[in-house]
Amino acid sequence: MNEELVYINGSYYPRSEARISVFDAGLMVGDTMTESTRTFRHVPFRLRDHIVRLYKSIKVARYPSTPSLEEMERITLEVVARNAPLYGPEDDFWIVHNVTRGSFQAANDPSRNRSEATVIVFTMPLDLTYWARFYEEGCHAVTPFSRAIPAEALDPKIKNRSRLGYTLCDLEVKLVDPAAQCILLDTHGNLAENKGGNVFVVADGTVLTPTTRNALAGISRDTVLGLCRELGIPSGERDLQPYDVYTADEAFFTSTPYCIMPATRFNGLPVGSGSVGPITRRLLDAWSARVGVDIAAQGLAQLRAATPA
């Protein structure tokens, strides 16, 4: 396979040569707005929604100068068009946007320091091998002892790359289980979100997820809530505590790459029966039907292919 091309500020670079200055604000102060979109059979899923959210982040972060939303969409489709032929027909790929504030100069007044934003758009193979077995077994959700950054300090609805807090939480849960997936709590002890996704529980037939007070307004989350409405499954947003996961019938995460990832253990205890539950399966099936891809099967196929015989 040839290398994908990476778009950086108007030019295309082979992946292995895609670099930015070490003086870029993205590196110097984690000042990067971001989106990750996936494809289904090479068709981007809700790409417009991702780009709209990117521009919400860019607005709230007060970036002085970026391409227009329409121009960004055009760039994105061109990156997709150039790279798509590199991926197999059964495989899908990520489309990643990283937009930084541009060059960084510590001593200067940031309000006047209006460099052009750095725009990076690239694709990557959607490698599901890490998550694939969770479609069948479910994963182990674990709570770190550090808390999610509260919105009054940095709103998680701003999808950004200053993610150290999340990374440290993720490393904390790996102390419990190297394969653990984290569920951060907010500073009041309510469920917040996963380091890269949202969390849901199913109890007595109702699908529940935390509000967006301390969580990203995830597009996969929104897709699941929409599927619930279509399927007639009661659903809602409200404050949840760890007790609600321990005593749930089912639990799952949502995120762009895996869509829905069942969680069958929580802090060492089984969730419900300890195996993937029927409503989780139903939602994943409905999502697969909508996009014309058996989502779990695709991941499991990758896993089998990656496993030495």
Footprint of its own copies on 185-214 (CB under 8 A): 185, 187-190, 196, 211, 213
7: number of CA atoms within 13 Å, CB side? 24
145 makes contact with its own copies (CB under 8 A): yes
- Judged by CB under 8 A, the stretch of 119-127, 223-231, 274-282, 285-293 that binds its own copies is 119-127
Find the binder of its own copies among 3, 9, 48, 60 (CB under 8 A).
Answer: 60
CA angle (200, 223, 274) in 5-degree steps: 30
Using CB under 8 A, which residues numbered 275 to 304 contact its own copies? none
Burial of residue 28, with CB atoms counted within 10 A of its CB: 0-12 exposed, 13-18 middle, 19 or more buried:
middle
Find the binder of its own copies among 78, 82, 84, 110 (CB under 8 A).
Answer: 110
Least Å distance, CB 283 to its own copies, is 22
Longest CA span, the chain: 60
How far apart are alpha carbons 109 and 288 in whole angstroms?
A: 50
Size of the site for its own copies (CB under 8 A): 94
Mapped onto helix, strand or coil, the DSSP state of residue 133 is: helix
Using CB under 8 A, which residues numbered 153 to 192 contact its own copies? 153-155, 157-158, 160-168, 170-172, 174-176, 178-179, 185, 187-190
Angle between helices 69-83 and 47-60 (to 10 degrees): 130
Least Å distance, CB 248 to its own copies, is 10
Using CB under 8 A, which residues numbered 26 to 55 contact its own copies? 26-32, 36
Q: Given the complex with its own copies, which of 35 and 285 has the nearer CB atom?
A: 35
Burial of residue 26, with CB atoms counted within 10 A of its CB: 0-12 exposed, 13-18 middle, 19 or more buried:
buried
Q: Given the complex with its own copies, which of 241 and 307 has the nearer CB atom?
A: 241
